[in-house]
Amino acid sequence: MDSKAEIALLRDQLDRWSAAYHRDDEPEATDAEYDRAIARLRELEAVHPELLLSTSPTQRIGDTPLSEFTSVTHRRPMLSLDNAFSGEDLQAFDERIVSRLGESVTAYCCEPKLDGVALSLLYRDGQLIQAATRGDGTTGEDVTHNARTIRNIPLTLVGTRFPSELEVRGEVVIPRSAFQQMNSRLLKSGEKVFQNPRNAASGSLRQLDPRITAKRPLSFMAYSVGYTSGEPLPDTHFDILQTLKGWGFTVSNLTSRVTDWQTAEAYAADILAQRADIEVDIDGVVIKVDSMPLQESLGAVSRAPRWAIARKFPAQEEVTQLLAVDFQVGRTGAITPVARLEPVFVGGVTVSNATLHNADEIARLGVKVRDFVVVRRAGDVIPQVVKVLTERRVGSEVDVVFPTVCPVCSSTVVRDQDEAVQRCDNTLGCSAQQKAALQHFVSRKAMDIDGVGEKLLEQLFDDGLVVDASDLFSLSVAQLSGLDRMGEKSAQNTVKAIADSRQTTLARFLYSLGIREVGEATALSLANHFGELDAIAQASTEALEEVPDVGPIVASHVYRYFRQDLTQAFLLRLIERGVSWPVIDTSVESVGPFIGQTWVVTGKLEAMSRDAAAEAIRALGGQTATSVSSKTSVVLAGPGAGSKLSKAESLGLQIINEAEFLKRLESAS
């Protein structure tokens, strides 16, 4: 057999083996056979470089590194999904569709919601020409060089009659077993391991060096098409997925077509029951109107289609053993018990610590050291112990004893009558509180001092160079360059970053002080209401309570803070060392359709972050608050709004969802 024929045979054989292994889960060759075949193909292509093609299986190993990614504008936006957390939410979704269409939907396509990284693949005449991340939905990053290394992404489509241009969308994932094997290899070689498959997939896909990506066990699973031209596709979503499978793509074999929302809810329950056995991480199921013409008719709002919804699963829980309880001291002196756990994989990450909140929670749970406990982790929420399995006790368990003195400075622990939290009362002498206060002062939403992180602050504090935040503004290059792992250039950059932060805003400065109960929104409200620091410092509690988002408790904290001699001296030092901000002219009337309104944003938003929503409200003349009260005008509530939504309902306040909010923004523009 001549070399040209052998090369063609090997390419065909390797593509077939790869598809059988990655797409169909039915291997036709051993790893050793595959390795021998690709080694032979690589050898032949080296001898005959004129026969090398970009679509050859050997080209999945990756090319030379890039210096940066380029941007890609999606021809059709890559939309987010609205969420359903119950059967009632799913029923409401169905009712909205019926109301808009004037007819019932006779088929939904259901598929697992993969917990990975969205990717768009563009094919022209059956050849992969571009791969892009989702980005912000409109613009993503070109990761074609990395996508080519993913074994189950077809470089050339199989079969015929595909559109001349075809955009296939899907999720890049790492199967759990492959993830564990990869982490084991990294651990043995002394490299950093990944927290979870999703993070590993995201980091791998965005490598500038595709040779690194090629070593990661990434897999692509198609879930839809975007832009197409030329040959028409089937007129149902389910049939499109089957067509994609025929063209060489991996599609979840759990995809199903159902007749109504009740059957879709039953499908979700069935997938939830299988969740632990599904090889890739999922966080719910996606339910889509199956008819493509109906999808087009329904359209989209903002960044979410009207024809699809994500039926999210409840928080994941696992059982593990509580090995010990440590007590941490925070910025305000709050002493928080932290459970040290036998590491357990839950909610997509390996958890070894969980909060026990306070002494009351320990008593409520009746938890003891060495107990077996149920740990819950929902999304990015801090893991928590939710249940004690008392039936597993063997008699060696030990009571948790809350400290009577601060575990850091041995000062008295106090508890306010109306609080569940116990605190160290040595505010200015407890090193834990001082260090935490420094970290808060330099944080992004406070003074935003770039390059001054926790480790540097700890070193500065321990070496006596910084006692409080005012000392930061007296640091010299010579002092910093003498520290461990701090060269002269880094020291110069740090001193410049500190100097640059001197010019700030009153709201940021107030937030940076770390006054109890004063978050970003409250700091902004105080700044806008009073206009200058002296006015806030001299205000009575009654005057403070006139500010939106400031109730009696917050007012008392602010009042007491500014009445302390040590506070006055600290503020004076900061001002003497150049910290300043423009005075706000409170005589200037705000303008906009939300003038005079106080909004509370709660729950999860899809089209924008809560911070972005709050900024939009303020830009239109409104004010934002972090808590619901009788002063609240409107509550913008997304899924998972919880107690704030309940309180708003009990007070009879105006409550709107994100879709209504976006309409108001649109009408105001």
Residues annotated as catalytic are 113
Residues whose CB is less than 8 angstroms from the CB of residue 646 and which lie 6 or more positions away in sequence, other chains included: none
- 32: exposed, middle or buried (Cβ count in 10 Å: 0-12, 13-18, 19+): exposed
Q: Of all helices (H) and strands (E), which one includes residue 507?
A: helix 506-512
Contact indicator for 63, 272 with CB cutoff of 8 Å: no
Please tell me whether residue 311 adopts helix, strand or coil conformation.
strand
Strand 71-73 with 139-141, pairing: antiparallel
Read off the DSSP letter of residue 277. G
Closest CA to 523 of 563, 557, 569, 564: 557
- Determine phi and psi for 407, rounding to 5 degrees: -70, -10
Q: Of all helices (H) and strands (E), which one includes residue 354?
A: strand 349-355
- 587: exposed, middle or buried (Cβ count in 10 Å: 0-12, 13-18, 19+): exposed
Read off the DSSP letter of residue 393. -
Read off the DSSP letter of residue 274. H
- Determine phi and psi for 611, rounding to 5 degrees: -60, -40
Closest CA to 140 of 74, 210, 60: 74
Contact indicator for 338, 325 with CB cutoff of 8 Å: yes
Residues whose CB is less than 8 angstroms from the CB of residue 153 and which lie 6 or more positions away in sequence, other chains included: 121, 128, 131, 147, 220
Report d(CA 562, CA 539) in Å as an integer.
9
Contact indicator for 610, 601 with CB cutoff of 8 Å: yes
DSSP string, 185-219: HHHHTTPPPPSSHHHHHHHHHT-SSHHHHHTS--E
Contact indicator for 598, 621 with CB cutoff of 8 Å: no
Contact indicator for 357, 337 with CB cutoff of 8 Å: yes
Report d(CA 422, CA 617) in Å as an integer.
36
Residues whose CB is less than 8 angstroms from the CB of residue 244 and which lie 6 or more positions away in sequence, other chains included: 168, 222, 225, 251
Look at phi and psi of residue 15 and say left if phi exceeds 0, alpha if psi is from -120 to 50, else beta: alpha
DSSP3 helix / strand / coil % (the chain, rounded to 5): 40, 20, 40
Look at phi and psi of residue 348 and say left if phi exceeds 0, alpha if psi is from -120 to 50, else beta: left
Contact indicator for 338, 402 with CB cutoff of 8 Å: no
Residues whose CB is less than 8 angstroms from the CB of residue 436 and which lie 6 or more positions away in sequence, other chains included: 329, 330, 331
DSSP string, 71-107: EEE-SS-----EEE-SHHHHHHHHHHHHHHHTS----
